[in-house]
């Protein structure tokens, strides 16, 4: 009960910025940026996508196989990822591919025996075989996707698992009465030969909501079956929801206060999706109509600049240094000039470490850092203080949806963390190009910059006959152009007898500029 109370007091907002090529999604908790996702329109091989793959090569030494699913790098399939019912899956997919089965055949088919966990992959698969597989881990750097043959369909309240009859309940549902109720309900409504994993958000839900969720997932299975007919590997069979919908499905709860989006089409799409998973929450979806970019209006751009660099400042002089290597991530905690003279060195170290633990947990979510993470906290000699730090980090990491493991602090102040990595780490370049040379090593006379702006302005207003324009510039340039009663901006308005707006953009480097027309669209020269 305490956990629920804590979560509900947090003001959670989803802010979505959309353009032609990608959708940027941020999660704010009490106006603080905690998650950042980029979704490209042409994104393939996303977690959850189902492909019809061809076994390219068997690796007996690794007890694994390389599978061609259409990516430039073959996907990796380990024996332990085949799933206990790989025999049934192979049989079913072959019959579906040949058109020898109806969509409902799985419900009446007799499942084959489970495979032995200590078996060999060569007993079930050979080079050239075709098999449906699901993306478990997206391609990262030089590595191809990690895949599984244990197909599953994730919904709002449940996960549907073909070729199984097992019903399991999330461990986060603690009430034995509720666990028993949910199991009975699911057993009464689930299709035969389908297993179900009941998710945490299903707690307290009615049978109608659970039934609708299962029916929606069963339709995906039917879609996969139909896609298999006559298909030639490699090809995609079923797409997972886009990143926006996945986030809404997985994290939307009563604590959500707002979802704000700047695209009308995406607004309609999100509202329609929420009406299917949580009709009572449709009114929290808002369409942003402001003049400045949505990330500027919500203070996201500034936070991104401060949070994605090598050095992350916390407060009171405390800062983190985050380094990335091929094998692991390393985070160093520094106290800076933070020293309380009234406290001992041990007390100062504990205070700094506790502050750092909160920010580190946030950074792992924000950057989606995975694999091995080593954190070098400030040394503390008392075991009770190291225990307090461990508990604090564990508490903050509990908010993270990714699977993770935290080891207690060593005598030297090192804490080891492993965090599940299924997607490439979010990387944002926060270093700006040199405002003088623009990264070329050569400069143009900076005294002519304002003349360049006016030259472009003159062309748009006189030659292109624009009725009004908006000039977007760095805050420093904005201040220079608008200062004083007889500012440069005002002189331009008098000179050209047109409406000229100037907008400051915190995300711009100092000599970058952009023009918008009266409709707010970019003007290209």
At 257-288, the pLDDT tens digits run 889 998 888 888 888 888 877 777 888 889 99
CATH 3.30.420.60 fits 2-43+242-301, yes or no: yes
User: What is the average per-residue pLDDT within 130-149?
Assistant: 88
pLDDT at 443: 56
Model confidence over 205-257: pLDDT tens digits? 889 989 988 998 999 898 898 899 888 989 999 887 666 677 677 666 666 78
User: Which DSSP category does 431 fall into?
Assistant: P
Q: Which CATH superfamily is domain 50-238 in?
A: Nucleic acid-binding proteins (2.40.50.140)
Q: Which of 24-33, 69-78, 140-149, 461-470 holds the top average pLDDT?
A: 69-78
pLDDT at 151: 93
pLDDT at 359: 92
User: What is the average per-residue pLDDT within 38-60?
Assistant: 83
pLDDT at 6: 39
For 88, 108, 242, 369, 467, the CA distances from 17, given in Å and listed in that order, are 44, 47, 14, 23, 28
**What is the value of pTM for the model shown?**
0.64
Residue 4 has pLDDT above 50, yes or no: no
User: What is the average per-residue pLDDT within 509-520?
Assistant: 85
pLDDT at 433: 61
Residue 354 has pLDDT above 60, yes or no: yes
Which residues lie below 8 Å from residue 465, measured CB to CB, with a gap of 6+? none
pLDDT at 471: 93
pLDDT at 2: 41
Q: Is 28 within 8 Å of 10 (Cβ atoms)?
A: no
Residue 59 has pLDDT above 90, yes or no: yes
Residue 28 has pLDDT above 50, yes or no: yes
DSSP H or E segment with residue 169: strand 167-169
Model confidence at 12, pLDDT cuts 50, 70, 90, reads confident
DSSP H or E segment with residue 270: helix 264-277
User: What is the average per-residue pLDDT within 147-174?
Assistant: 91
Model confidence over 356-405: pLDDT tens digits? 999 999 999 888 888 899 999 998 888 899 899 999 999 999 888 888 99
What is d(CA 154, CA 196) in angstroms, rounded to the nearest whole number?
Answer: 10
Q: Is 23 within 8 Å of 215 (Cβ atoms)?
A: no
pLDDT at 331: 94
pLDDT at 421: 74
pLDDT at 3: 39
- When computed from its CA atoms, the radius of gyration of the chain, rounded to whole angstroms, is 28
Q: Is 325 within 8 Å of 317 (Cβ atoms)?
A: no
pLDDT at 7: 40
Model confidence at 435, pLDDT cuts 50, 70, 90, reads low
pLDDT at 82: 93
User: What is the average per-residue pLDDT within 420-427?
Assistant: 68
For 118, 209, 333, the CA distances from 473, given in Å and listed in that order, are 63, 50, 36
Domain ranges of the chain: 2-43+242-301, 50-238, 308-419, 446-516
Residue 103 has pLDDT above 60, yes or no: no
What percent of the chain clears pLDDT 90, i.e. is strictly above it? 36
Angle between helix 475-482 and 449-458 (nearest 10): 80
User: What is the average per-residue pLDDT within 448-474?
Assistant: 87
DSSP H or E segment with residue 89: helix 86-98
Number of H helices, E strands in the chain: 14, 24
User: What is the average per-residue pLDDT within 327-353?
Assistant: 80
What is d(CA 182, CA 186) in angstroms, rounded to the nearest whole number?
Answer: 6
pLDDT at 63: 94
Residue 472 has pLDDT above 90, yes or no: yes
User: What is the average per-residue pLDDT within 171-178?
Assistant: 90
């Amino acid at each position: 009960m305490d956990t629920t109370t804590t979560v509900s007091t947090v003001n959670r907002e989803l802010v979505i910025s959309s353009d032609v090529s990608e959708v940027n999604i941020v999660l704010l908790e009490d106006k603080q940026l905690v998650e950042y996702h980029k979704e490209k329109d042409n994104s393939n091989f996303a977690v959850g996508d189902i492909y019809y793959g061809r076994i390219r090569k068997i690796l007996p030494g690794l007890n694994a196989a390389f599978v061609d699913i259409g990516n430039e790098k073959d996907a990796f399939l380990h024996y332990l990822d085949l799933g206990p019912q790989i025999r049934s899956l192979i049989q079913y997919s072959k019959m579906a591919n040949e058109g020898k089965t109806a969509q409902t055949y799985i419900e009446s088919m007799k499942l084959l025996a489970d495979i032995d966990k200590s078996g060999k992959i060569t007993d079930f698969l050979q080079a050239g075989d075709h098999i449906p597989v699901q993306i478990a881990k997206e391609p990262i750097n030089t590595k191809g996707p990690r895949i599984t043959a244990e197909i599953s369909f994730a919904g709002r309240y449940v996960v549907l698992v073909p070729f199984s009859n097992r019903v399991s309940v999330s461990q986060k549902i603690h009430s034995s009465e509720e666990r028993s109720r949910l199991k009975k309900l699911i057993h009464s409504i689930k299709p035969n030969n389908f297993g179900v994993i009941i998710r945490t958000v299903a707690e307290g839900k009615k049978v109608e909501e659970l039934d609708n969720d299962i029916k929606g997932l069963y339709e995906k299975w039917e879609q996969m079956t139909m896609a298999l007919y006559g298909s030639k590997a490699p090809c995609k069979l079923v797409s997972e929801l886009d990143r926006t919908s996945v986030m809404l499905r997985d994290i939307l709860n009563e604590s959500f206060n707002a979802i704000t989006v700047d695209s009308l089409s995406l607004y309609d799409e999100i509202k329609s999706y929420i009406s299917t998973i949580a009709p009572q929450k449709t009114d929290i979806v808002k369409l942003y109509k402001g003049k400045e970019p949505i990330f500027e209006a919500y203070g996201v751009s500034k936070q991104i600049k401060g949070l994605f660099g090598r050095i992350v400042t916390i407060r009171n002089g405390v800062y983190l240094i985050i380094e990335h290597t091929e094998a692991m991530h390393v985070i160093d905690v520094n106290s800076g000039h933070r020293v309380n003279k009234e406290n001992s060195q041990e007390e100062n170290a504990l205070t700094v470490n506790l502050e750092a633990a909160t920010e580190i947990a946030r950074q792992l979510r924000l950057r989606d850092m995975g694999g091995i993470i080593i954190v070098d906290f400030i040394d503390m000699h008392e075991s009770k203080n190291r225990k307090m730090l461990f508990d604090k980090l564990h508490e903050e990491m509990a908010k993270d949806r990714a699977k993770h493991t935290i080891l207690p602090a060593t005598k030297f102040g090192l804490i080891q963390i492993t965090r599940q990595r299924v997607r490439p780490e979010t990387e944002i370049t926060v270093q700006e190009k040199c405002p003088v040379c623009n990264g070329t090593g050569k400069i143009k006379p900076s005294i002519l910059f304002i003349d360049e702006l006016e030259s472009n302005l003159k062309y748009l207003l006189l030659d292109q006959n624009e009725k009004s324009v908006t000039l977007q510039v760095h805050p420093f340039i904005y201040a220079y152009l608008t200062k004083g009663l007889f500012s440069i901006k005002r002189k331009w308005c008098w000179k050209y007898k047109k409406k000229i707006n100037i907008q400051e953009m915190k995300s711009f480097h100092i000599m970058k500029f952009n023009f918008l027309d009266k409709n707010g669209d970019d003007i290209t020269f």
